[in-house]
Amino acid sequence: MRALYCEEGDLSLRLDYPQPQPRPGEALLRLRMAGICGTDLALTRGYKDGVSLVLGHEYVADVISAPGHESWVGQRVVGEINTACGHCARCSRGLVTHCAERRVLGILDWDGALADTFLSPVANLYPVPANVSDEQAVFTEPLAAAYAVLRDMPSDAGERMVLFGDGRLGQLIARVLAAEGFDPLLVGRHAAKLAVAAAAGIRTQLVSSAAEIRSHAEYDVAIDATGSAQAINDILACLRPRGVLILKTTSAQTTRLDLAAVVVNELRIIGSRCGPFPQALAALAAGKVDPRPLISARYPLAQAEQAMRVAAQAESLKVLVIP
Amino acid sequence: MRALYCEEGDLSLRLDYPQPQPRPGEALLRLRMAGICGTDLALTRGYKDGVSLVLGHEYVADVISAPGHESWVGQRVVGEINTACGHCARCSRGLVTHCAERRVLGILDWDGALADTFLSPVANLYPVPANVSDEQAVFTEPLAAAYAVLRDMPSDAGERMVLFGDGRLGQLIARVLAAEGFDPLLVGRHAAKLAVAAAAGIRTQLVSSAAEIRSHAEYDVAIDATGSAQAINDILACLRPRGVLILKTTSAQTTRLDLAAVVVNELRIIGSRCGPFPQALAALAAGKVDPRPLISARYPLAQAEQAMRVAAQAESLKVLVIP
C-alpha cells in the first residue's frame, strides 16, 4: 500500500509499504481524508530526533476490521492519537493522554494516517455523526486541541483575550473562542490569513514587529499559537498582572525567557496540547464551528509529498489528502 | 539619621540621611527590627538598573506619627511593601499589589526600613498581636510571600510537593506547607541549612547535581525558591504531566527554557510574589509557624553593611538588624 514515510526527517511516498494487521483491541482503518498539521512539518525538520514512521494524525476513516470489536466495522470514525496502556501510574490517575508507555499516531512509535490503511486502538475511536462531512470531520483532532484552550484556562482567568498566530491552529482557536461567547483579537503577520478569520466575524490585527505585539497590553489571557519559540517574551508583555498565557507552540528550539517578569507580575504559563474529541465533534455537528474556510488545497495521496510542500508555504492553511 | 543606602549597587551606611516627613495617609515609623532578604542582596548586584534608595522591606516598627490617623500612633506594626494608588485600572480590579503607579518599600522609588525611621502608607500597616515577638513579627513579610504559594496553587494541583532551595524563602515555604497539612520534600545543596528544616520535622534531601534534581519524578507540585534562574529545566523535569511549578525566584538573568516540554507535558508555571499579611500574622500568633530557628545573626544598624555581607554568605539564613 501507499504511505507517506518520514525517515529521520527525509520524506518519501512509499508504494509498497506493508499493510498493517490489527491485533486485539486495534482497528484497521481505511483513510477517507487526512489533514496536514504543523507537527507533521516540524517532524520533517527534525523536531524529534530519530523519528521514522508514517506521518499523519488528523483523519477521518472507515473501519475495515476490528478483532473482537466487530460492531465498529463499517463505521466512519475519527480518533484520538495517544495510545494508553490503562495501567501505569499516569493512566491510573486519569492522565491517559500522558500514558508513560504512550505511542502517538504519526508522531511517536505508531504509524500514522497518511496511508491507504493504518491502525488505531479501538478505544481511541469516535463515530462521526451523519451530518458532519468528511471535510468537517477531518478537523476534529486540531479542533479538539483548540477546545483544550478552554479546558486548560483557569476559571478566574478573565475574558479579555488576545491570540497570536493566524495559522491553522490559531484560526481554529479563534473560532472556538468566538463560538463559546468570547471576543478574541487574533493577531498575525499574514493579511490573507487574517481575512479568512475576519470573514468568520473575528476581530483581527496585522502586525509586523515585536514592538507592535508588545503594544497590546493588559490582556487577561494571551494564547500563543505562533509556532515560534521566540515570541513568548513579547506575548508575556501583553498580559496584565496575574494574566494567563496558554502555550500551544511546540518547537524544537528553546526560548530565552525573563522569569523575573513572570514572578514579579505573577503570570501564569499553561502548556496545552491535545483536547476533548467529544466537544469538538459536538461543535461540528451543531454547526458552532465551521472549519471548512481553512481548506487551502486538496491532494490525492499519490501527491502527498507535494501536499506537504504546499502545507509548508506561509500562505497555506489546511491542506487535505484524499486517497 | 542612619540609613543603609544603595546607590546603583554601591552600598553605604549614611549617618546624616534626612529624616522623612509623613504626608497625609502616611505614617512615620521607628524601626524595631529589620530582616535582610535575597532581594536586598540582588539589588546590590544590579538586579534592577539605576536603583538608588534606602534598602529594607522586612520590618517591625513603632508608629511615631500618622497625620490624620492618630489612632495608629504608638502601635507596633508590620507593613505591606507595595504602594497602591487606589484608582488605576489595576487597583480598580483588585490587583492592588500590582498598581500601575506602585512604589515598593526598599525596592522601587520608596526608601526602605534599614534606617532609624522610614515611611509607610497607613493603609499598608497591620498591628502586631501582643503575643508575637519582634523576632517573629520581622518575618511577616517573607512568611506572607511563603503563604502566597498556597494562594497561587491551582485547586486541582495535587499534594505531592517538592521544594527546591534551602535558603530563607525555601525554609519558610517548607514550614508553611507543613503547617497547612502537606508533607513537602525540601531539596537543597547545604547540609547545615537542611538540618534546620529537618529539626522542624520537614523531610529533606541533599543534592549536588542537576542529575540528582531530575531524579525526582512525577511530583504534582514543584516550588522553585533556589534564587537561581538556571535550575528551572531540571525542576520542570520533576513534574508529572499537568504538574504545577510555583516560581518564586527573581533573578536578573534570563533562562533558556524548553517550551515544547511545557506544552507536550501540559505543565503549568505560576509566578508568585507577595502574599497575604493577615494569614502570616495569624500563623505566627497561633504558633503554627516558628521562623526563629532561621535567625543566623543579629547586627546593630551601625553595622548594617557587615550584616549585608554576612547575609550574602552561603551558610547564612536570616540576618536581623536592630537599631
Between chains, do A242 and B269 touch, taking CB under 8 Å as contact? no
Q: The cell 472556538 sits on which residue?
A: A176
Residues 6+ apart with CB under 8 A from B288: B179, B282
Q: What is the ipTM of this complex?
A: 0.91
Residues B116-171 pLDDT 10s: 999 999 999 999 999 999 999 999 999 999 999 999 999 999 999 999 999 999 99
Between chains, do A260 and B273 touch, taking CB under 8 Å as contact? no
Average confidence score pLDDT of chain B: 94
Q: Mean pLDDT throughout A281-305? A: 97
What percent of chain A shows pLDDT beyond 90?
82
Select the residue from B51, B159, B242, B253 to test the A interface by mutation, using most A Cβ atoms within 10 A.
B242
Min Cα distance A292 → chain B (Å) is 27
Question: What per-residue confidence (pLDDT) applies to B47?
Answer: 66
Q: How many CA atoms lie within 13 A of B230 on its CB side?
A: 2
Min Cα distance A302 → chain B (Å) is 32
Between CA B276 and CA B171 the distance in angstroms is 18
Binning pLDDT at 50, 70 and 90, where does residue A45 land?
Answer: confident
Between CA A88 and CA A80 the distance in angstroms is 19
Residues A208-230 pLDDT 10s: 887 887 777 899 999 999 988 77
Between chains, do A242 and B268 touch, taking CB under 8 Å as contact? no
Picking from A98, A265, A269, the nearest residue to B262 by CB comes out as A269
Between chains, do A250 and B264 touch, taking CB under 8 Å as contact? yes
Contacts of B258 in chain A (CB under 8 A): 254
Name the residue ranges covered by the structural domains of chain A: 3-139+291-322, 145-271
Contacts of B227 in chain A (CB under 8 A): none
Q: Do domains B3-139+291-322 and B145-271 have the same CATH topology?
A: no
- pTM for the model stands at 0.92
Residues B289-320 pLDDT 10s: 999 999 999 999 999 999 999 999 989 999 99
Q: Which residues of A62-74 are buried (b: 16+ CB within 10 A; e: fewer)?
A: bbebbeebeebee
Q: How far is CA B211 from CA A237, A320, B241, B246, B314, in A?
A: 33, 44, 19, 21, 22
Contacts of B240 in chain A (CB under 8 A): 90, 95, 98
Min Cα distance B238 → chain A (Å) is 14
Its CATH class, for the domain covering B145-271, is alpha beta
Select the residue from B263, B265, B267, B272 to test the A interface by mutation, using most A Cβ atoms within 10 A.
B263
Q: Which residues of A254-292 are buried (b: 16+ CB within 10 A; e: fewer)?
A: ebebbbbbbbbbbbbbbbbbbbbbebbbebbeeeebebe
Q: The cell 473575528 sits on which residue?
A: A202
Question: What per-residue confidence (pLDDT) applies to A252?
Answer: 67
**Collapsing DSSP states into helix, strand and coil, what is residue B63?**
strand
Q: How many CA atoms lie within 13 A of A195 on its CB side?
A: 5
Burial class (CB in 10 A: 0-12, 13-18, 19+), B70: exposed
- Work out the number of other CB atoms within 10 angstroms of the CB of residue B314: 9
Between CA B172 and CA B178 the distance in angstroms is 10
Residues 6+ apart with CB under 8 A from B56: B4, B34, B36, B40, B105, B106, B112, B113, B114, B115, B118, B321
Contacts of A254 in chain B (CB under 8 A): 256-259
Residues B161-205 pLDDT 10s: 999 999 999 999 999 999 999 999 999 999 999 999 999 999 999
Question: What per-residue confidence (pLDDT) applies to A3?
Answer: 98
Of the candidates B25, B32, B57, which has an alpha carbon nearest to the alpha carbon of residue B121?
B25
Q: What is the DSSP string of A35-66?
A: E--HHHHHHHTTSSTT-EEE---EEEEEEEE-
Between chains, do B247 and A259 touch, taking CB under 8 Å as contact? yes
Classify residue A47 as left (phi > 0), alpha (psi -120 to 50) or beta: alpha
What percent of chain B shows pLDDT beyond 90?
82
Residue B118 cell numbers, joined: 522610614
Contacts of A57 in chain B (CB under 8 A): none
Min Cα distance A9 → chain B (Å) is 18
Between CA B45 and CA A26 the distance in angstroms is 61
Is it the case that residue A320 has pLDDT exceeding 90? yes
A224, closest residue in chain B (CA to CA): B263
Superfamily of domain B3-139+291-322: Medium-chain alcohol dehydrogenases, catalytic domain (3.90.180.10)
Contacts of B269 in chain A (CB under 8 A): 262, 268-270
Min Cα distance A83 → chain B (Å) is 15
Average confidence score pLDDT of chain A: 94
Between chains, do A267 and B268 touch, taking CB under 8 Å as contact? no
Between CA A143 and CA A216 the distance in angstroms is 26
Residue B131 cell numbers, joined: 503575643
Counting one residue from chain A and one from chain B, the pairs whose CB atoms sit within 8 A come to 121
Between chains, do B263 and A252 touch, taking CB under 8 Å as contact? no
Q: The cell 520542570 sits on which residue?
A: B236
Alpha carbon distance, N-terminus to C-terminus of chain A: 11
List, in sequence order, every residue forming a beta bridge with A270; answer none if it has no partner.
A246, B268
Select the residue from A263, A265, A267 to test the B interface by mutation, using most B Cβ atoms within 10 A.
A263
Binning pLDDT at 50, 70 and 90, where does residue A47 land?
Answer: low
Of the candidates B267, B221, B212, B266, which has an alpha carbon nearest to the alpha carbon of residue B248?
B221
Residues B31-44 pLDDT 10s: 999 999 988 998 88
Reported as type and span, the H/E element at residue B65 is strand B58-65
Angle subtended at Cα B309 by Cα B307 and Cα B313, rounded to the nearest 5 degrees = 110
H and E: helices and strands count for chain A: 11, 19
Q: What is the DSSP string of A77-134?
A: EEE--B---SSSHHHHTT-GGG-TT--EETTBEE--SSBSEEEEEGGGEEEPPTTS-H
Between CA B115 and CA B321 the distance in angstroms is 10
Phi, psi of B184 (to 5 degrees): -75, 155
